[in-house]
Amino acid sequence: MPVPRILVTGFGPFPGAPVNPTQRLVEALRGEPPAGAFRAELLAVDYLAVGPRLGEIGRAFSPDIAIHFGLATGCTGFRLERVARNSLAGAPPDANGALPSATAICPGPGTIASRLPLEAIAQALAFAGLPVEWSDDAGAYLCNMTMTLSLAHACEGFSPPVSGFVHVPLTREAGGGPMTDADLLAGARIIIEACRDGWRG
């Protein structure tokens, strides 16, 4: 049975979030990666850099599944994003203080549905006792931009057949709570396995 190549991404710090738990997640997954073809990569909170970086990753690894993680300080669990919006309207400054120069993220439809097996992910997380939320708005920041670029295959060399976005809260170690870094890592591993099982199915 073919083994899918799985990519997980997270982000570094950005204004208002000096510690990003998704950066810690990427580091933890690099230290103890899941079995099979797997990569964990950090994306800069930079409107100009994220697209070219996805292209580089795609040309080097060619993922079949891309699971993008990002921080949303207002959520309390794993927030499964159903829809990406192809818009930068109202976008706040990135980590460099820059604003995007366009209103559309890329050519294509105004909205794109996630291709992750969201129902299976939600059931697996709930079974493990981890909190789950649903969302139809991935925001106006780099999280939504990354989700849109990934789903639209808008970066040369980056075209995962399965991709989507999951927001997570500040962990206890990052100044939030009650979710811990260990909970975040456990949930990420569950999400990875659910996506792998969906691919096989």
Positions annotated as catalytic residues are 81, 143, 167
Instruction: Determine the straight-line distance between the first and last CA of the chain, rounded to whole angstroms.
Output: 11
Contact 32, 167 (CB under 8 A): no
What beta strand segments (E) does the chain contain?
6-11, 38-43, 65-71, 78-81, 83-85, 111-113, 132-135, 162-168
Token reading at 19: 């510690």
Strand pairing partners for 163? Answer: 66
